[in-house]
Amino acid sequence: MAPSMEEEAPSKSRVTVVGSGNWGSVAAKLIASNTLTLPSFHDEVRMWVFEETLPSGEKLTDVINRTNENVKYLPGIKLGKNVIADPDLENAGRSMFLCFYGTDANMLVFVTPHQFMEGICKRLVGKIKGDVEAISLIKGMEVKMEGPCMISTLISQQLGLNCCVLMGANIANEIAVEKFSEATVGYRESREIAEKWVQLFSTPYFIVTAVQDVEGVELCGTLKNVVAIAAGFVDGLEMGNNTKAAIMRIGLREMKAFSKMLFSSVKDSTFFESCGVADLITTCLGGRNRKVADAFARNGGKRSFDELEAEMLQGQKLQGVSTAREVYEVLSHRGWLELFPLFATVHEICVGRLPPSAIVEHSERIPKLSLVEKST
Ligand SMILES: NC(=O)C1=CN([C@@H]2O[C@H](COP(=O)(O)OP(=O)(O)OC[C@H]3O[C@@H](n4cnc5c(N)ncnc54)[C@H](O)[C@@H]3O)[C@@H](O)[C@H]2O)C=CC1
Ligand SMILES: O=C(CO)COP(=O)(O)O
C-alpha cells in the first residue's frame, strides 16, 4: 500500500533568508551548501530580495535566479542552485512560512541592515504561522521611548518568535571565497535549537560555537561597529598602529561595560568568543565602517558619511554611524555620557560637532571609565 502523504513527508525544516546584501548572500550560500546534504532540511533556500532595477534594466531578482549570482552585492560568487530569490515579502510570507503537512518546522534567517527591520517586521506581522524559529545576523539596535531594543527582541516581540543570534568575525567577502573563520550563536533557553542553527551554518571553513547569552553576543556585534568607526578615524589621520590598538582596547572596555550595564546577565566569557574580540579586530582592520570612517577623516569631516557611503559602498550600508547615534541616545537618556567617552566622541565626530582628531584629543575623558568597571 502506498504510504499516506503524511507518512511520505519527513519532518524537515524549510529555510528562508530575509535579506540579500553582501552578508545575506553569503549566509544563503553557506546554508544552501548544507541543506543539500543534511537530511533534516529541504534543499531549497528562499532568499527575500529588496527588489531593485539594475543599470541593464533587469530586475535584481531575475538576474540572481538566472545567473545564480547576486551581481550587485556579491559579484562573482555562485550562491548554489538551490537558492531561490524572491522579491515579494508578503506573498513569500504566505507560501514560505506555512507548515506543510503540519510536520515541517520553518527556520527564518534575518540578515538586513538594522534600520530596515522595523518596517520588515511590520509587513510580516500575522503572516508567520506554525512552528517557526528565527535567528538574527543583524548587527545593530533600535532605540525606543522605553529604551534600547535589540533586533532579536524586536523580532521576538513583533513576530512572536524565539530568536537566536549569530555574530562573529565574519567579513562576508572572505567567507564567500571560503577562507576559514569562526562565528558565535547566542541562544536564550533551548540548546537543542541552538545546535540546529550551528548545524545549518557550520562548514569545514566556518566554525560555529553556541553560547547561552543572546544579549552579550548581539551587543558585541552591534557595538564593535562604533569602535570600527573610531579605528577608521585613526587610520585616516595616519596615527599608527599603537594608537589604533589603544582605541580598540578602550572600545572593547566600553563594549563590555555598556553591555553589562544594560543587561546584567551578559557574560564576561562572551567577549572572548568570535563575536567579541575577534569581530572587533577584523572589523577594525578590514570592515566597511573602518574604510568609510578613514575617508571621512582624510576629508577633514567635510564630506558626510551618507555621501561617502553612497560613493564607496555602491548600495551596501554602514551600521556604525547610526549605531553610534543610537548608543549616544541611550547614554544621554541614562546620564552615562561621561562614562563612555569613546562612544560619545565617535557620535560627536560623525555629526560634525567635533573634528576627527578629537578621537584621541578627548582621551583625557577616558579614565572615567574606571568608575564603570568598579560598578560592573
Ligand atoms: N557584509 C558583511 O561583511 C557583514 C555584515 N553583517 C551584518 O549583516 C547585516 C546585513 O548586511 P549586508 O548583508 O552586508 O547588507 P549590505 O549592506 O551589503 O546591503 C544592503 C542591503 O539592504 C537592502 N536594502 C536597501 N534598501 C532597503 C529597504 N528600504 N528595505 C529593506 N532592504 C533594503 C539592499 O537591497 C541590500 O540587500 C548588517 O547588520 C551587517 O552589519 C554581519 C557580518 C558581516
Ligand atoms: O561585521 C562585519 C564583520 O564581522 C563587517 O563589518 P563592516 O560592516 O564594517 O564591513
The answer on 231 and 161 residing in a single domain is no
The dihedral sign for the CA sequence 161, 167, 170, 171: positive
Domain that holds residue 247: 216-375
- Residue 36 pLDDT class (50, 70, 90 cuts): very high
Helix (H, G, I), strand (E, B) or coil at 143: strand
Q: Assess whether 224 carries a catalytic annotation.
A: yes
Higher pLDDT, 324 or 366: 324
Atom index in ligand 2 nearest the CA of residue 221 equals 1
| Residue to substitute in 316, 318, 322, 326 for testing ligand 1 pocket (most ligand atoms within 8 angstroms of CB) | 316
Atom index in ligand 1 nearest the CA of residue 50 equals 35
The answer on 195 and 262 residing in a single domain is no
CATH code for position 320: 1.10.1040.10
Among 151, 182, 212, where does a domain finish?
212
| Average pLDDT score over residue span 58-83 | 98
Q: Is the pLDDT of residue 167 over 50?
A: yes
| Average pLDDT score over residue span 163-169 | 98
Q: How many domains does the chain have?
A: 2
Ligand 2 pocket member 169 (CB < 6 A): yes
- Among the ranges given (120-124, 125-129, 291-295), the one the predictor scored with the smallest mean pLDDT: 125-129
Q: Is the pLDDT of residue 8 over 90?
A: no
The answer on 225 and 261 residing in a single domain is yes
- Percent of the chain whose predicted confidence (pLDDT) is above 90: 85
The answer on 176 and 31 residing in a single domain is yes
The answer on 233 and 170 residing in a single domain is no
Among 148, 177, 212, where does a domain finish?
212
Residue 4 assigned to a binding site? no
The answer on 74 and 9 residing in a single domain is yes
* Ligand 1 midpoint to CA 268 (Å): 29
Q: Is the pLDDT of residue 136 over 70?
A: yes
- Residue 102 pLDDT class (50, 70, 90 cuts): very low
| Average pLDDT score over residue span 322-333 | 96
The answer on 138 and 192 residing in a single domain is yes
Closest C-alpha to ligand 1, atom 30: 116
- Residue 93 pLDDT class (50, 70, 90 cuts): low
φ/ψ region of 21 (left if φ > 0, alpha if ψ in -120 to 50, else beta) reads: beta
The rounded distance, in Å, linking the Cα atoms of 368 and 221 is 24
The rounded distance, in Å, linking the Cα atoms of 371 and 376 is 9
Mean pLDDT of the chain: 91
Closest C-alpha to ligand 2, atom 2: 171
Q: Which amino acid is at 261?
A: M
245 within 8 A of 230, measured Cβ to Cβ: no
* Ligand 1 midpoint to CA 225 (Å): 14
Closest C-alpha to ligand 1, atom 26: 50
Is the model's pTM score more than 0.80? yes
* Ligand 1 midpoint to CA 192 (Å): 28
CATH code for position 141: 3.40.50.720
Could you give the ipTM of this predicted complex? 0.99
In order of 39, 189, 317, the CA distances from 192 in angstroms are 17, 9, 33
Q: Which amino acid is at 60?
A: L
Which residue of the set 29, 72, 196, 224 is catalytic?
Answer: 224
Ligand 1 pocket member 171 (CB < 6 A): yes
Among 143, 177, 212, where does a domain finish?
212
* pLDDT for position 103: 40
Atom index in ligand 1 nearest the CA of residue 319 equals 41
